[in-house]
Amino acid sequence: GAYIVRILVIITALAAAALAATEISAVRVDEGPELDGLLDDPCWGAAKWHEGFVQRDPDPGASSTEMTRVAFVYDSQTLYVAFDCRDSDPDGIESHLARRDTYVSTDDNVDLYFSPAGDGRLLYYFSTNPAGVKLDQLYTNRAQWATGQWDGHWDVATAVTDEGWSAEFAVPFANFQFDAAAGNDWLFNAGRVIRRKHEETYLAEVTYTANMHYTEYGA
């Protein structure tokens, strides 16, 4: 049956600021994208795109220096996520081929995690670079525990163009432990790194003293 996915994003300006919850809904589609990294599929035209990535480093709280946006759609089996990473200097994009589960932190990259139970206790983490290297891990809140031994069944495709680069993730719901009937809001965050600028940005702001896996800030 259809899974209803609602992604709850917690947005905060400062650690001491009051939290303001914003709900992002993934759009139900009959057909997902052709996984080629290009964002010309009808489903992405029907999706709601979310911009406004905020720096954690080097200028905490400032807007990303390059336009970044992300969208979510799903069908009865799979959640799809698209990143559109524009770049004013595409020749400066850094990327290398590597084995699966190789850390891509030395390259340009995008990453995201989900906590389907909505409690942040278990975070499913996915990342890639412009070369399409696949990295996945399981984390707990604040990354107090992590394992790279988990290999989910998912796929990603990327494309580099004269406008930047893009990525399409296809993550079957079978990867996640959750009760679809419970109707939980999913905790979530998405990030982008622009390596040549040493710039780290997130859709839901993460303060410099924290990291992506502090769910009270990001997701």
Question: What pLDDT score does 12 carry?
Answer: 34
Which segments of the chain have a pLDDT < 50? 3-5, 7-21
CA separation for the pair 18, 191 (Å, rounded): 22
Question: What pLDDT score does 25 carry?
Answer: 81
Coil, strand, or helix at residue 30?
coil
CA separation for the pair 67, 176 (Å, rounded): 30
DSSP string, 139-188: E-GGGSSEES----S-EEEEEEETTEEEEEEEEEGGGS---GGG-PEEEE
8 A C-beta contact, residue 219 and residue 189: yes
**Token pair 């939290």 is at which residue?**
19
Question: What pLDDT score does 96 carry?
Answer: 96
E-only strand ranges, 120-154:
123-128, 135-139, 146-147
Coil, strand, or helix at residue 149?
coil
2: Cβ contacts below 8 Å, ≥ 6 apart = 28, 75, 76
Q: Which tokens in the block code for residue 109?
A: 């990259």
- 46 φ, ψ (degrees, to nearest 5): -85, -15
Question: What pLDDT score does 4 carry?
Answer: 47
